[in-house]
A and B are shown apart, each in its own frame.
Chain A
Amino acid sequence: QLQLQESGPGLVKPSETLSLTCTVSGGSISSSSYYWGWIRQPPGKGLEWIGSIYYSGSTYYNPSLKSRVTISVDTSKNQFSLKLSSVTAADTAVYYCARHGTTAQAFDIWGQGTMVTVSS
């Protein structure tokens, strides 16, 4: 069945750029029925949607993070990626990648999550 797996550095310095990749296995990222998104969860806190991308490269972002976020897709590798620039301690969180439908943003398949700490 379809699985998502996040990868990337677990420690990022303040003011630098956080970069994560989500690898999709057991299915194609090029499905016309789905978007692929990033969601984060600070320790002990709730969930925040960061942004989503379609296989064509069409993106939409949370306005609260839009100025710092870039999400891209590589269909040849069945991967999509997140870049978050100018990070601070407030960006410390577990970062999840997840799939949602094109008609409604119900996140039905999630990666296991990866903890990213922003610290010098």
Chain B
Amino acid sequence: DIQMTQSPSSLSASVGDRVTITCRASQSISSYLNWYQQKPGKAPKLLIYAASSLQSGVPSRFSGSGSGTDFTLTISSLQPEDFATYYCQQSYSTPPSFGQGTKLEIK
């Protein structure tokens, strides 16, 4: 199975900050990398698919990059509604697997 490792596990930031979350795969996954946002008590929401494609309806302040084993999710200017937990997920091979999550908190 492919292991996905996110860093940091938690992050404190302020409204307006630029934030970057990193995800590393245990082997190359090409661009088969997706990002999700999850708020407490809610289902995850797909933000980015195929490493850099913005899901319909997701604000343009979210962007993704990377290929191979190293990927990043960037939020260009944090908004109050962005404080949540973020997960990466590889869809290169079965079983699809998720990172452990990055909790983004208000500073």
The answer to whether A and B assemble together is yes
Which residues of A are at the interface with B, using a C-beta cutoff of 8 A?
46-49, 60, 62-64, 96, 98, 100, 104-108, 110-113
Per-residue contact bits, chain B 33-49, to A (CB 8 Å; 1 contact, 0 not): 01010000011111001
Nearest 5 interchain pairs by C-beta: A110-B43, A105-B91, A106-B49, A47-B98, A62-B95
Q: Out of B42, B87, B91, B97, name the residue touching A106 (CB < 8 Å).
A: B91
In contact, B95 and A46 (Cβ under 8 angstroms): no
Residues of A within 8 A of B50 (CB): 104, 106
Max chain A C-beta neighbours (<10 A), residue from B1, B32, B36, B96: B96
In contact, B43 and A96 (Cβ under 8 angstroms): yes
Q: Which residue of B lies closest to A64 (CB)?
A: B95
Residues of A within 8 A of B34 (CB): 104-107
Q: Which residue of A lies closest to B101 (CB)?
A: A46
In contact, B94 and A60 (Cβ under 8 angstroms): yes
Residues of B within 8 A of A105 (CB): 34, 89, 91, 96
In contact, B98 and A46 (Cβ under 8 angstroms): yes
Per-residue contact bits, chain B 70-98, to A (CB 8 Å; 1 contact, 0 not): 00000000000000000101010011111
Residues of B within 8 A of A110 (CB): 43-45
A-B Cβ contacts below 8 A, count: 54
Residues A46 and B43 in contact in the complex (CB < 8 Å), given A60-B94, A104-B91: no
Q: Could you tell me the distance in whole angstroms from the C-beta of A111 to the nearest C-beta in chain B?
A: 7
Q: Could you tell me the distance in whole angstroms from the C-beta of A116 to the nearest C-beta in chain B?
A: 15
Q: Which residue of A lies closest to B91 (CB)?
A: A105
Within 8 A of A (CB), among B1-24: 1
In the bound complex, how far is the Cα of B50 from the Cα of A63, in angstroms?
Answer: 24
In the bound complex, how far is the Cα of B44 from the Cα of A112, in angstroms?
Answer: 9
In contact, B98 and A108 (Cβ under 8 angstroms): no
B100, CB-defined interface residue at 8 Å: yes
Q: Which residue of A lies closest to B35 (CB)?
A: A106
Q: Which residue of B lies closest to A108 (CB)?
A: B46
Residues of B within 8 A of A104 (CB): 32, 34, 49-50, 91
In the bound complex, how far is the Cα of B41 from the Cα of A112, in angstroms?
Answer: 9
In the bound complex, how far is the Cα of B87 from the Cα of A82, in angstroms?
Answer: 24
